[in-house]
Structure 1
Amino acid sequence: MIYIILSICCSVTVAILLKLAKRYQISIIQAVTVNYFAALTLCFFFFKPDINLLNSTAPWSIYTALAILLPTIFLFLAASVKSLGIVKTDIAQRLSLFIPILAAYFIFKEDFNDLKIIGLAIGFVAIFLTFLRKSNPDQKTGNLIFPVMVFIGFGAIDVLFKQIALYKALPYTTSLFTVFCMAFVVSLIIVTVMTISGKIKLQLVNLACGLILGFFNFGNILFYLKAHQALAQTPSTVFAAMNLGVIIVGTLIGVLVFKEKLTKVNYIGIIMAIAAVVCITLSQNAVR
């Protein structure tokens, strides 16, 4: 259980760092670039990936899609945290699990039981209630695009990672290392273009922030994998504890520490989101 707790802490810490980035004028794209360099370095030392196994038959199209999506969605994640706060952003990220579940049904032709269907129905209502808010003339309506992109983006990333996991010719850790390397290159190209065009200025503070971000981002992945190894017989326990933990801890920190404002309807949406995750988790072990 300690691995699950550590993974939750790392995941929420990433959101907190992104929340603080605006206050200290951190360049997100620079921090994200360094973040992937730190993540691939840690991945190399912890997982010892064998890059000699890579060849032309590797799923390069999936690697490329992930390399582009990962830094892009990270920017939307940061924008969502800044505009709507940690609570709603974490909800959007965790509810993105519905996308790979729907992909399992429509693409991979998996059978759904009643509990999973109920969980999906509750989840979609939860999404609506969580982001519902009173009209505010000072609030940009475009801000809602950020959590929507987080929802879609993380869902798509999850589907792509699942496809990599199904590719048995390469160890998953080798694929993960490859994706981190390519994501770093994509981020570096973006930073280079923005620096040359004068849109951003390179600063050491962004390097430090990126290293810290990369440490916790990788820690989230490392402890999540270790939790699955330690509880190999009950993967649904890991899944439920991780998603519920992030939603609950993220909500508490958002409301108590950052004083994020939520309506009663938003709280109902959060409760329904938790119920949806529970239903979907229980459905994994339900008799069909």
Structure 2
Amino acid sequence: MIYIVLSIFCSVTVAILLKLAKRYQISIIQAVTVNYLTALILCYLFFKPDVNLIHSSAPWTIYIALAILLPTIFLFLAASVKNLGIVKTDIAQRLSLFIPILAAYFIFKEDFNQLKFIGLGIGFAAIILTFLRKQREQQSTSSKWLYPVMVFVGFGVIDVLFKQIALYKELPYTTSLFVVFCLSFFVALVIVSLMIFKRETKIQLVNLGCGLILGLFNFGNILFYLKAHKALSSNPSTVFAAMNLGVIVLGTLVGLIAFKEKLTLVNYFGILLAICAVILITLSQLNAI
């Protein structure tokens, strides 16, 4: 259980760092670039991937898609935390689990039970209620809806792609993860290089330091999540539920207490529905076994 707690802590800490980035005028793209370099090095040290196993028949299309999506969605994640706060961003990220579930039903033709259908319905209601704002606030924030929507869709698509990598048995999952981090770092580095060439940004030590810390916690989230699944291999639904519920609850507490984020009564009801949705989907998975 300690691995789940550590994974939750790392996940919420990433959101906190992105929230503080605005206060200290951190260049997010520079931090994201160093973040992937850090994750790449840690991936090599902890998982010791065998690069000799990587060959031309590996799922390169998925690798490249992830390499483009990961740094891009990270920027949307940062923008969402900056404009709408930790609470709503964490819920958008956690409820993105509905996209791989829908993909399983519509694309991979998996059987659904009644609990999963109910969980999905409640989850979508939770999304609407969590992001609903007072009418006078809607006009000033309507354009900011793009950020959590992109977080929701982006992380959902990323989850589907990672699940496809997991099905590719000719390469260990951690080796594929190493390849994805390599390519993601390259994509982010190209973006930063272009911005420096256009004089839209300049390298600053504070950005590199923030990226290093961000990478440590981002990788920690992945490492402890994988360790939790390994330790509780007979109960994957427990890991799934504890992780998603833990991030929603801890993210909400941090947002409300530490950053004084404002929520309406309707928003609180949306958070409650989000928790119910995760529980129902977890129960539906247990029933499917």
Q: Which residue of 1 aligns with 2:180?
A: 179
Q: Which residue of 1 aligns with 2:76?
A: 76
The aligned amino acid for 2:25 is Q
Q: Does 2:35 correspond to 1:18?
A: no
The aligned amino acid for 2:85 is G
CA–CA distance in 1 between the matches of 2:147 and 2:60?
A: 28
Give the superposed CA RMSD.
0.9
Q: Which residue of 2 aligns with 1:246?
A: 247
SS in 2 for 1:139: helix
TM-score, length of structure 2 as denominator length: 0.98
Q: Which residue of 2 aligns with 1:257?
A: 258
Q: Which residue of 2 aligns with 1:216?
A: 217
| Offset from partner CA, 1:197-241 (integer Å, 9 cap, x none) | 011111010000000000000000000000001101000000000
Q: CA deviation at 1:14?
A: 0.1
SS in 2 for 1:56: coil
The aligned amino acid for 2:163 is K
CA–CA distance in 1 between the matches of 2:172 and 2:285?
A: 25
Q: Which residue of 2 aligns with 1:268?
A: 269
Q: Which residue of 1 aligns with 2:204?
A: 203
The aligned amino acid for 2:71 is P
The aligned amino acid for 2:150 is M
Q: Which residue of 1 aligns with 2:99?
A: 99
Residue pairs, 1:222-241, within 5 angstroms: 222-241=223-242
Q: Which residue of 2 aligns with 1:164?
A: 165
| Offset from partner CA, 1:180-199 (integer Å, 9 cap, x none) | 00000000000000011011
| Offset from partner CA, 1:26-60 (integer Å, 9 cap, x none) | 00000000000000100000000011111110000
Provide the identity percentage: 75
Q: Which residue of 2 aligns with 1:64?
A: 64
CA–CA distance in 2 between the matches of 1:137 and 1:170?
A: 48
- Structure number with the higher helix fraction is 2
Distance 1:137 1:162, change over 3 A: closer
Q: CA deviation at 1:287?
A: 4.7
Unaligned runs of 5+ in 1: none
Q: Which residue of 2 aligns with 1:129?
A: 129
Unaligned runs of 5+ in 2: none
Residue correspondences, number:
288
Q: CA deviation at 1:138?
A: 7.5
Q: Does 2:44 correspond to 1:44?
A: yes
Q: CA deviation at 1:168?
A: 0.4
CA–CA distance in 2 between the matches of 1:241 and 1:285?
A: 14
The aligned amino acid for 2:167 is L
The aligned amino acid for 2:210 is C
SS in 2 for 1:43: helix
The aligned amino acid for 2:119 is G
SS in 2 for 1:4: helix
SS in 1 for 2:21: helix
Q: CA deviation at 1:285?
A: 1.2
